[in-house]
């Protein structure tokens, strides 16, 4: 467990799956966690309840991460309410699969909006208060698909690959003010989405993973928590792979 006492964290898409695990990891360390969600208020409130039961503090905040004005307003409200923002985790993301020749413009735009532009909006909004307080940690969630590619996921891969270049550039921009920016790149993780896959698809996935199993959301959360903590104070512009050896 890492020490996040007296720190405020925002986790996008924090109500379920990997986002919930990240929110819990930060909350257990003593952070005040703002759990962003898009529409499932019950899940967000459940995550807040789990954080509070573990001794942390939490609030659910609904806003569209693809809306620049909403992101700016949310950051301003968090800083005003809690006195600062010390950790930003851009976890929210969507995948709309399909071969390039059949990919609709709207599907491309939606993935760009949620997976890439949202991180730009939130990092831009968070940079000013973090620079003013001379410290902060940003962790962006990319994907093994953004590193190695995957048939039927050209748009998704492009957005996740874009996050890598964005984060490395951001790390260079903010380093002089004590603000760090890093990435975690998950492989195939055991979530609601992967549990619903047909058995033959799951079997093929496992064949591609040297460790022979899907990852757990908590394993992603551990990597995020380390990068968000003071224990990684000399780490910026880096990518940590948590993929069971699928891509090395």
- Whether 2 is in a domain gets the answer no
- Pick the catalytic residue from 37, 156, 234, 247: 156
199 — pLDDT class (breaks 50, 70, 90): confident
State the CATH number of the domain containing residue 41: 3.40.50.720
Structure confidence at residue 220 (pLDDT): 98
- Tally of domains in the chain: 1
Question: Residue 239 pairs with which residues in a beta bridge?
Answer: 183
CA atoms within 13 Å, Cβ hemisphere of 190: 9
Q: Which residue has the tokens 């953004």?
A: 146
pLDDT in tens, 157-183: 999 999 999 999 999 999 999 999 999
pLDDT in tens, 42-96: 999 999 999 999 999 999 999 999 999 999 999 999 999 999 999 999 999 999 9
DSSP three-state, residue 178: coil
CA distance 93 to 9: 18
CA distance 187 to 182: 17
144-148, 203-207, 225-229: segment of lowest average pLDDT: 203-207
CA distance 91 to 13: 6
CA distance 225 to 236: 14
DSSP three-state, residue 82: helix
Question: Residue 136 pairs with which residues in a beta bridge?
Answer: 179
E strands in the chain = 8-11, 32-37, 57-62, 87-90, 136-141, 179-186, 239-242
Structure confidence at residue 91 (pLDDT): 98
As a whole number, mean pLDDT of residues 181-201 equals 88
- Whether 1 is in a domain gets the answer no
As a whole number, mean pLDDT of residues 204-217 equals 95
What pTM did the predictor assign? 0.97
Percent of the chain with pLDDT over 70: 100
As a whole number, mean pLDDT of residues 109-117 equals 98
Percent of the chain with pLDDT over 90: 93
In our burial notation (b when 16+ CB lie closer than 10 A, e otherwise), range 68-91 reads bebbbebbeebbeebebbbbbbbb
Measured at the CA of 189, the angle between CA 63 and CA 146, to 5 degrees, comes to 75
Structure confidence at residue 83 (pLDDT): 97
Structure confidence at residue 168 (pLDDT): 98
Domain range for 187: 8-240
CA atoms within 13 Å, Cβ hemisphere of 16: 12
Structure confidence at residue 198 (pLDDT): 84
Helices 68-82 and 118-132, axial angle in degrees (round to 10)? 30
- Whether 64 is in a domain gets the answer yes
- 51 or 199, higher pLDDT: 51
192 — pLDDT class (breaks 50, 70, 90): confident
- Catalytic annotation on 156? yes
> Residues 9, 87: contact at Cβ < 8 Å?
yes
Per-residue tokens: 234: 């000399």
The answer to whether residue 196 scores a pLDDT higher than 80 is no
CA distance 141 to 132: 25
As a whole number, mean pLDDT of residues 30-48 equals 97
- Whether 246 is in a domain gets the answer no
CB-neighbour burial class of residue 105 (10 A; exposed 0-12, middle 13-18, buried 19+) = exposed
Structure confidence at residue 197 (pLDDT): 77
Q: What is the mean pLDDT of the chain?
A: 96
- Whether 177 is in a domain gets the answer yes
Structure confidence at residue 202 (pLDDT): 86
- Whether 245 is in a domain gets the answer no
């Amino acid at each position: 467990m890492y020490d996040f006492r007296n720190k405020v964290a925002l986790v996008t898409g924090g109500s379920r799956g990997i986002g919930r695990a990240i929110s819990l990891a930060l909350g257990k360390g003593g952070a005040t966690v703002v759990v962003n969600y898009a529409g499932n208020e019950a899940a967000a409130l459940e995550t807040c309840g789990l954080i509070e039961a573990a001794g942390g503090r939490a609030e659910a905040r609904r806003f569209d991460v693809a809306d620049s004005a909403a992101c700016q307003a949310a950051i301003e409200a968090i800083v005003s309410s809690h006195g600062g923002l010390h950790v930003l985790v851009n976890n929210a993301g969507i995948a709309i699969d399909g071969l390039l020749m059949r990919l609709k413009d709207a599907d491309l735009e939606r993935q760009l909006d949620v997976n890439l532009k949202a991180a730009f909006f939130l990092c831009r909004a968070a940079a000013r208060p973090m620079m003013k307080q001379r410290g902060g940690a940003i962790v962006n969630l990319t994907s093994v698909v953004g590193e190695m590619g995957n048939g039927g996921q050209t748009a998704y891969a492009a957005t996740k690959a874009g996050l890598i270049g964005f984060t490395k550039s951001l790390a260079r921009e903010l380093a002089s003010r004590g603000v760090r920016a890093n990435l975690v790149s998950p492989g195939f993780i055991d979530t609601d989405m992967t549990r619903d896959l047909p058995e033959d698809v799951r079997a093929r996935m496992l064949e591609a993973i040297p460790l022979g199993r899907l990852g757990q959301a908590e394993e992603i959360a551990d990597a995020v928590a380390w990068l968000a903590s003071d224990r990684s104070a000399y780490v910026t512009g880096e990518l940590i792979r948590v993929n069971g050896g699928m891509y090395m």
